[in-house]
Amino acid sequence: MIIALGADHGGFELKEKIKEHLIEKGHEILDLGAHSKESVDYPEFGRAVGEAVLDKKAECGIIVCGTGIGISIAANRIKGVRAALCTDTTMAKLTRQHNDANVLALGARIIGDVLALDILDTFLSTEFEGGRHAVRIGKLEEKNCKCGCNH
């Protein structure tokens, strides 16, 4: 599987551990940065990973910042991206089964490395259930702007 990775400076070290873990499992990695702990802006990396997933350059994405919140907000601003911030394996399982999340967000300052890798493995090994959940995903993709501008 090709997996896009992105992180800001706060998520850099965890991103590197995730990258190593995924390579060991035989995945191909599209590392979109950051490439150091030097201060950078998380929206750039959330956007880059989201676009890589939508452009089919990667099958899914993993994004990391200090809390996972900012970078997940950035990714979710892209229509078609369903980034889910997960802090345990149950969240990872259910967001794949019910929400067909295509990007996993993690908070490097919130969870430890071992838990992060467990969440990651659960996310990657869980399939979308479809059915009634597919109808709900469709509703997420509907245009919802009330001003009539069609965006």
Q: What CA–CA distance (Å, rounded) separates 47 from 142?
A: 21
Which pLDDT score, from 0 to 100, does residue 141 have? 77
Task: Look at residue 146 and tell me whether its pLDDT is greater than 60.
Answer: no
Residue 109 in marked binding region: yes
2, with CB counted inside 10 A (0-12, 13-18, 19+), is middle
Closest CA to 75 of 114, 110, 103: 103
Closest CA to 23 of 40, 2, 42, 41: 2
Residue 96 in marked binding region: no
Q: Residues 50-75: what's their mean pLDDT? A: 98
DSSP codes, 64-114: EESSSHHHHHHHHTSTT--EEE-SSHHHHHHHHHHH---EEEEETTTS-HH
Instruction: Show which residues are catalytic.
Output: 65, 98
State pTM to two decimals.
Answer: 0.92
Confidence of residue 113 (pLDDT cuts 50, 70, 90): very high
Structure tokens at 46: 């959330």
Confidence of residue 149 (pLDDT cuts 50, 70, 90): very low
Q: Residues 66-73: what's their mean pLDDT? A: 98
When mean pLDDT is compared across 56-65, 97-106, 134-143, the lowest value belongs to 134-143
Residue 8 in marked binding region: yes
* Domain 2-141 -> CATH class: alpha beta
Which pLDDT score, from 0 to 100, does residue 36 have? 97
Residue 144 in marked binding region: no
Which pLDDT score, from 0 to 100, does residue 68 have? 98
By percentage, how much of the chain surpasses pLDDT 90?
A: 84
